[in-house]
Amino acid sequence: MQVSFELVIYDEVTDTFKLDETIYNLELDEEQSKTYNLLKITDLHLYNWFKESDFFVNWINKEVYPNSYGKKIAINSINDIGYFQFYFFKVTSSDSHYNYFKKLFNILEESSWQDREEVGEEILKALALKRKELLIELKEDVIEEIAQPS
């Protein structure tokens, strides 16, 4: 199974993200494909699985951004699952993104008349922490994959 990725590059100085406009393709083996299919219905579980998988981090280090130690990136999309709202959310973002984050961060509006900007600011505060969790820092020491006994 082949999976397509779009990535964003994090600039620590300005605390901003820039879209890497290249689409990267990664071939998953049978076991990885099964895990992908189980996790694809829960977007953040899928994100975290890739972020924490040695095979994915090795692929990023060797194939996508070789010799880019210290660079910080994040996943913008995995196939048709987008994470761009995490990096490019604004108070004026669409209702679907606004409601997604209200639910994710358990933010309750006190009433229907509450100012959207006030709630949007709460979302942005919660996002500041969440974005840090989503970052993948490229490290020099590539993890060697353990050979499976045959």
* Residue 144 pLDDT: 55
**Structure pTM?**
0.85
The mean pLDDT of 101-116, rounded to a whole number, is 79
Distance in angstroms (rounded) separating the CA atoms of residues 71 and 68? 6
pLDDT, mean of residues 36-60: 95
- Pair type for strands 72-78 and 81-82: antiparallel
For 78-138, the DSSP string reads ETTEE-HHHHH--TTS-HHHHHHHHHHTT---SSTTS-HHHHHHHHHHHHHHHHHHH-EE-
Q: What is the pLDDT of residues 11-20, one digit of tens each?
A: 999 999 999 9
Mean pLDDT of the chain: 89
Question: Structural domain boundaries of the chain?
Answer: 2-137
Task: Count CB neighbours of 73 within 10 A.
Answer: 20
